[in-house]
Amino acid sequence: MFEQHKTVQEVLFDFDVVQEWEHEVELQIMIDKLKLQPLLQQQIETLSGGEAKRVMLAKVLAGNPPMLVLDEPTNHLDLDMIEWLERYLKKQHTTLFMVTHDRYFLERVCTDIYELDRGKIHQYSGNYSYFLEKKAQREENEKIEMHKLKQLLRKELAWIRKAPQGRQTKANFREKRFYDIEDRYDSRKEIRLQESQKLELAVEERRLGGKILNLKNLKKSFGDKCILQNFSHECRHNEHIGIIGKNGVGKSTFIKMILGEEAVDSGLIQAGESVVFGYYDQKDISFPDDKRLSDIVTDPKLLEQFLFPPSQQHQFAKTLSGGEKRRLYLLTILQKNPNFLILDEPTNDLDLITL
């Protein structure tokens, strides 16, 4: 990571990175595309998690390395930044290893997919759509193999039950073969069971009254920067609203205004009496070091519905992967049974099974 006391400009224009004029020109383009210009004089320690990741991305790309290793590169990027990054990576003559849960980014950028599954790596020479097609074929073949093992298991069991007493050597061989097949079948059956698991949460539906949320003539500015101007909207039942816009235009500020965490300059926000908000924040997730999953969510059935099996529920939350922490955080929100969900960058770091 960076030295916290340094400014963004000092970090980016380090001479170990920018050794040639061409690199500096390219870095200036990245600063523009990743919208880092307003941050150049800020110290690293003052940056948000998303801002720091954009600085790190610019620094890594500016070095023109022969191999790039990117971990969730689209997190904290707006649509314009993601589209620029797609174009940039596709035109580079470099080897790219990338971990991402952004399916559309995988589709457009990757030429090969490596799937880590049960201690094995399966390679697919194609994009994400090709991977889905071939993975489905592989799983279908495994299903057929399971059926064959089941039939063979029945056949061997029937032979053992009626085996002649005088042919003990052959009987021992067939019995050993039976148990080998049974082990293979049970192992594959457990795998199929794990693969068939789906993330679910069964909670009692909380009643939502006729009045949900009214926004009337909202105005909000920070100095000369206008966030909202005379905005009005009346939320309806089962309405799904997506808020889009470039980074820094005030999307998160708008959400905080609805939640009452940020004051409006003028206008009125009225939530119905029966409304219970569930707010999924984009902040970095951290749980206390001494807390286990069962301390954070005390209902073991809820944890299991969210794909945290009993064997994992006494694990310390700090040991979870980024995607698992996000899944647990989502569960802590949903278990309160909200009837009005507000999600700020909900797909960041979530694993594919949750998405």
The CATH number assigned to the domain holding 17 equals 3.40.50.300
| Residue indicated by tokens 């698991």 | 197
Q: Which of 271, 294, 310 is the last residue of a domain?
A: 271
Residues 264 and 284 in one domain: no
Close Cβ partners of 156 (under 8 Å, ≥ 6 residues apart): 174, 177, 178, 181
Are residues 166 and 77 located together in one domain of the fold? no
User: Burial code of 142-175, b = ≥16 C-beta within 10 A, e = fewer?
Assistant: eeeebeebeebbeebeeeeeeeeeeeeeeeeeee
Q: Please say which residue of 196, 228, 244 terminates a domain.
A: 196
Same domain? For 41 and 71 the reply is: yes
Same domain, 263 and 281: no
Q: What is the 3-state secondary structure (H, E, C) of the chain?
A: CCCCCCEHHHHHCCCCCCCCHHHHHHHHHHHHHCCCHHHCCCEHHHCCHHHHHHHHHHHHHHCCCCEEEEECCCCCCCHHHHHHHHHHHHHCCCEEEEECCCHHHHHHHCCCEEEEECCEEEEECCCHHHHHHHHHHHHHHHHHHHHHHHHHHHHHHHHHHCCCCCCHHHHHHHHHHHHHHHHHHHHHHHHHHHHHCCCCCCCCCCCCCCCCEEEEEEEEEECCEEEEEEEEEEECCCCCCCCCCCCCCCHHHHHHHHHCCCCCCEEEEEECCCCCEEEECCCCCCCCCCCEHHHHCCCHHHHHHCCCCHHHCCCEHHHCCHHHHHHHHHHHHHCCCCCEEEECCCCCCCCCCCC
What is the pLDDT at residue 86? Answer: 95
* Sequence-distant contacts of 345-350: CB under 8 A, at least 24 apart: 345/75, 345/76, 345/282, 346/280, 347/101, 347/102, 348/72, 348/75, 348/76, 348/282, 349/72, 349/75, 349/101, 349/285, 349/322, 349/323, 349/325, 350/101, 350/323, 350/326
Residue 117 lies in a domain: no
Instruction: State the residue range of the domain holding 292.
Output: 275-355
Q: Please report whether residue 130 resides in a domain.
A: no
Q: Answer yes or no: do 267 and 279 share one domain.
A: no
Give the model's pLDDT for residue 168: 59
The reply to whether 251 falls in a domain is yes
Looking at the fold, whether 18 and 89 belong to one and the same domain comes out as yes
Total structural domains in the chain?
Answer: 4
**How many Å apart are CA 346 and CA 253, to the nearest integer?**
16
Residue 106 lies in a domain: yes
Q: What global pTM score does this model have?
A: 0.64
Residue 221 resides in a domain: yes
Within a domain: 82: yes
Q: How far apart are CA 335 and CA 204, in angstroms?
A: 10
Q: Is residue 133 in a domain? A: no
Q: Please list the residues that pair with 69 across neighbouring strands.
A: 97
Q: Both 161 and 226 in a single domain?
A: no
- Please tell me the distance from the alpha carbon of residue 43 to that of residue 354, in angstroms, as a whole number: 35
pLDDT of residue 317: 93
Are 18 and 103 part of one and the same domain?
yes
Residue 289 C-beta-side C-alpha neighbours within 13 Å = 0
Q: Which of 65, 90, 110 is the last residue of a domain?
A: 110
**Per-residue confidence in pLDDT tens, the chain, 355 aa:** 667 788 888 888 875 554 566 677 788 889 999 999 999 999 988 887 788 889 999 988 887 888 999 998 998 888 899 999 999 999 988 899 999 888 899 999 999 999 988 778 989 999 999 999 998 898 888 888 888 878 887 877 777 677 655 555 566 666 677 777 776 766 666 555 555 556 565 556 667 777 899 999 999 998 888 889 999 999 988 899 999 888 778 888 899 999 999 999 999 999 998 999 999 987 778 899 999 999 999 999 889 888 898 989 999 999 998 888 988 999 999 888 898 999 988 877 666 666 6
Q: Are residues 95 and 18 in the same domain?
A: yes
Are 31 and 105 in the same domain?
Answer: yes
C-alpha 7: how far from chain center? 30
**Domain-embedded: residue 265:** yes
The reply to whether 16 and 98 lie within a common domain is yes
Specify whether 15 is located in the same domain as 106: yes
Q: Rounded distance, CA 181 to CA 191, Å?
A: 15
